[in-house]
Amino acid sequence: MKKKLQGKIALITGASGGFGKSLALSLAKEGCDLILIYKRNIEQMRILEKKLKLLEIKFDIIKADVSKMSQITKILKYIRKKKKIDILINNAGINKVTDFEKINSKDWDNIMNVNLKSAFFLTQEVFKIMKKNKFGRIVNISSGAALYHGPRTAHYAISKAGLISMTKLIARFGAPYNILCNAIAPGIIETNLTKKEIRGSGGKNYIDMTLLKRFGRISDVVSSVLFLISGDQNYMTGDVMNITGGAYLG
């Protein structure tokens, strides 16, 4: 039986994190070739590389710090050599919990560069390839914080809200070329990086906000991304999938 993403090529940023690794493996299991970008977690990338080799797909791994334009430029040069990229998942993201009045310029710039600026310039370059091929699926990993304006993550919430705005803009430009662009807005998802947050007061406050009264799982995010890119739907663009357990309504 033919796999859903057989013959497709996907570029995923933030590939060494919880979402990134799971996304890479899920796409690979559906026959998708991969271009994976990560910053520094070489141990996790080696584990992922071993798993991908068992799946008989082609993959490239690029080490780059997308907070720096010089490193983004390195990725753009690589992309320009490609004749085909079918799927782009802008997954790279960072956060730093800080009270609104204490956010400094350095943290603002770092979060904006990783979460929004890198996504914009990578999308701009990949879009050119998709436009020529008259096909593309772009998914931006935003955040529930962009919807309910996380109180102690103002710079993060603003960057992720910008990603939603970019999603709608790209959807408008991409529609004539069969390029669909959507965003995923997860709430607090159980990963190694969120363990501390989940166990603290912030985790309790979040649970109180949700309708389902529990945290999300990585599989909730991955399955939503697969729905958007696998051909199971071809009429959804410029939209935001809210995966917050109803926190936006709570």
| Residues recognised as catalytic | 156
Bridge partners, 245 (sequence order): none
Distance of CA 186 to the CA centre of its chain: 10
Which H/E stretch holds residue 25? Answer: helix 18-29
Rounded to an integer, what distance in angstroms lies between the CA atom of residue 55 and that of residue 38? 20
Asked whether the CA dihedral 168, 127, 18, 7 is positive or negative, the reply is: positive
Which H/E stretch holds residue 129? Answer: helix 118-133
H and E: helices and strands count for the chain: 10, 7
Rounded to an integer, what distance in angstroms lies between the CA atom of residue 88 and that of residue 128? 12
